[in-house]
Amino acid sequence: MFSKEESRRLKQEFWTSFGKSFPRKWILYNTKIKDVAFKFYFDRKSAMVALDIECRDLESRIHYYEKFESFKKILEEDYIQGLIFEDCYVLENGKEISRIYIQKDKVCIHNKKTWQETMVFLNENMEKFEEFFYMFEDVIKG
């Protein structure tokens, strides 16, 4: 079991190491679509690359989710196989969002032996997600 301080230190060490191993500027929050962002996650059970749609009003959230969902076949065939589409995803804080993501299980941020495979997973899948986004950005925003 790790203390909060040890856990915080390991998380910081992982993300610093990831940034040094794969130095580049990711889109993340800079999609130019309000409340639509790409995110990295890594905890004690899994790693995830996600596209979160967190629009305050349900109508906007549904609008963007359906746009992305209309590209599902292209996304899965040409970019990332195994994506999970959830129109209603509840975050730990209880907030309801829509999320499209790919997850890698059986990795742990507290286990440095899983860091390299996790970094490769995060890098490869975010690159593919971004490539898709840039290709269809005008249609998604329109």
The model's pTM:
0.93
Look over the chain and give the mean of its residue pLDDT values, rounded to a whole number.
95
Over 66-85, what HEC string results?
A: HHHHHCHHHHHHHHCCCCEE
Q: Are 110 and 10 in contact (CB under 8 A)?
A: yes
For residue 53, give Cα distances in angstroms to 5, 7, 11, 38.
31, 28, 25, 9
pLDDT, tens digit, 9 for 90 and up, residues 1-59? 778 899 999 999 999 999 999 999 999 999 999 999 999 999 999 999 999 999 989 99
pLDDT computed for residue 2 by the predictor: 78
Q: Are 123 and 108 in contact (CB under 8 A)?
A: no
Flag whether pLDDT at 91 surpasses 80: yes
- Give the tokens for residue 10: 């390991």
pLDDT computed for residue 1 by the predictor: 72
- What are the extents of the domains in the chain? 4-141
Q: What angle do CA 32, 38, 42 make, to 5 degrees?
A: 155
